[in-house]
Amino acid sequence: MSPSRDSGQTAAPTASGGDTTRERILTAAMEEFARHGIAGARVDRIAKLARTSKERVYAYFRGKDALYADVAAREHVVIAEATQLDPSDLPGYAGRLFDYFVARPDHHRLITWGRLELPDTTAAADDHAQALIARKIDQLRKAQQAGQLDPSWDPADVLALVNQIATTWAAQPEHSEAAAAHAVDPTTAARRAAVVTAVERLFPRAH
C-alpha cells in the first residue's frame, strides 16, 4: 500500500486491542508525530522504533492521517482521565491541565500538530475530541443549573476560556523562556499559581 497521507479512518486490525505490535506502533507514532508533525513524520521511522515493518504498520492503518487520528484520539481520552473536569472547582481543573502539559510538552505538541495540519478533516481524533468536549459542556451546564457556576456564562465559553488559560504556557514556550529570565518569580510554581488565580477570578470555586 502506498505510504501517502490518507485522511481515512483507522483500518480495523485483525488482532485484539491487546496486540503488542499495534501498541508498539501507536507508542512509536506518538513520539514521531510529536517531534516531526504529521507531514514530517515518516512511517519507516515509526516502524523501526516499533520494531516492526512498514508493511505491518499499513496492515493496521491506511496511512499517516489514520494513524495520527488513532494516536490523537487515545491522547484526548488520556488527558480527560488524567485531569478530570470538576465543574464546581474550575481553578483546580486548570491546575491539573497545567501540570499535565508541563510534565508532557510532547503531548501538547502532538495535539497542536493536528490542529495545524488537519484543520478540515473528519478524522477519528476529531470525533473523540468533540464527544469529550460535549460531555464537559453538559457537565458545566448542569453545574449552572445546580447553582455551582455563574449561569450568565455560556458553558461553551467557560470551557474554552479555562482550557486556554490552563495551556497558556504550554502553547507559548517563548513566553515560558522569557518568564524564566525576567519574571519576578521565575519558577514553574509561580506560573501555575497565576493560571489558577486567573481562573478563580473568572469562575470562583463553589462553596
- In sign, the C-alpha dihedral spanning 112, 118, 123, 129 is positive
What does pTM read for this prediction? 0.80
Confidence class for position 83, pLDDT limits 50, 70, 90: very high
Q: What is the pLDDT of residue 120?
A: 56
Task: Give residues with Cβ within 8 angstroms of 42, minimum separation 6.
Answer: 32, 36
What number of other Cβ atoms are within 10 A of residue 1's Cβ?
13
Task: Look at phi and psi of residue 205 and say left if phi exceeds 0, alpha if psi is from -120 to 50, else beta.
Answer: beta
Cβ atoms of 59 and 32 within 8 Å: the answer is no
Q: Who contacts 24 (Cβ-Cβ below 8 Å, separation ≥6)?
A: 50, 51, 52
Question: What's the whole-number mean pLDDT along residues 59-67?
Answer: 92
pLDDT of residue 128: 75
* Distance between CA atoms of residues 107 and 71, nearest Å: 10
As a whole number, mean pLDDT of residues 69-92 equals: 94
How far apart are alpha carbons 43 and 196 in whole angstroms? 40
